[in-house]
Amino acid sequence: MALVPRVFLTADQIQKRVREMGDQISTDFPQGPIYLIAILKGAFMFLADLSRAIRTPSRVEFIGISSYGRGKTTSGQVKVTKDLDVSIEGHHVLIVEDIVDSGVTLTYLMNVLKQRRPKSLNIATLLDKPERRLRPVDVAYVGFKIPDEFVVGYGLDFAEDYRNLGDICVLHEEGQK
Ligand code: IMP
Ligand code: MG
């Protein structure tokens, strides 16, 4: 059956919230540089907007982590597939994530990065599905708390599709209310 995306958060709502998050982060970290570490691929669009909303001097880095296959649920197995190119020792680090679901990915990544002795280590996520949490994660900056629905767009995919949508949408089966 065909899947149709239905708008859940508009591009305008997202932009407004991301600017607020950028303001808060700029206030909390007046001294740079902040290393913004985006988790590939889902966080790429959020990173692009958040980095422009942060006034503190920042640097942009990427890390690749696999935990999901092509389905909608975590495989529970997490590993680094593309590591950072730089040392983060002694620097402020902000992990930039699209969505926190089970918390498995971020629990793993926080442990990996903590061992590299950053000056500070925090998480900014655009979306949070607290109902789905299996591992407790301390998330400093949350854009929107959302119910347990599978969402796509603004970087988020379903089997690599829909990342380029400007809105965040819930996928429904055609004909379903
Ligand atoms: P966690 O380890 O279960 O917290 O998984 C987080 C990752 O799962 C996110 O970075 C996303 O890549 C993916 N994910 C979780 N929920 C969704 C969703 O609703 N849509 C798209 N991807 C999701
Ligand atoms: Mg992801």
Which one, of 66, 150, 61, lies nearest residue 105 by Cα?
66
Q: Tell me if 163 is assigned to some domain.
A: no
Average pLDDT score over residue span 78-98: 96
Q: Tell me if 151 is assigned to some domain.
A: no
- Whether the bond between 118 and the residue before it is cis, its omega within 30 degrees of 0, is no
| Surrounding residues of ion ligand 2, Cβ less than 5 A | 42
For residue 107, the domain's CATH number is: 3.40.50.2020
pLDDT of residue 77: 79
106-147, pLDDT tens digit by residue? 999 999 999 999 999 999 999 999 999 999 999 999 999 999
101 is a catalytic site residue: yes
118 lines ligand 1 (CB under 6 A): no
Q: Which domain holds residue 142?
A: 12-67+77-146
Q: Tell me if 114 is assigned to some domain.
A: yes
18-74, pLDDT tens digit by residue? 999 999 999 999 999 999 999 999 999 999 999 999 999 999 999 999 875 545 565
15 CA from centroid of ligand 1 (Å): 21
Q: Closest ligand 1 atom, CA of 105?
A: 2
- The tokens 């691929």 sit on which residue? 41
Ligand 1, atom 11: closest residue by C-alpha:
99
156-171, pLDDT tens digit by residue? 999 999 999 999 999 9
Cβ-proximal residues to 14 (8 Å cutoff; 6+ apart), any chain: 49, 126, 143, 154, 167, 168
44 lines ligand 1 (CB under 6 A): no
95 lines ligand 1 (CB under 6 A): no
67 lines ligand 1 (CB under 6 A): yes
Q: Tell me if 55 is assigned to some domain.
A: yes
Count CA within 13 A, CB hemisphere, residue 166: 5
pLDDT of residue 174: 83
pLDDT of residue 1: 72
Residue 83 or residue 175, greater confidence: 83
Q: Number of structural domains, the chain?
A: 1
Q: Tell me if 177 is assigned to some domain.
A: no
Ligand 1, atom 3: closest residue by C-alpha:
102
pTM, to two decimals: 0.94
Q: Tell me if 172 is assigned to some domain.
A: no
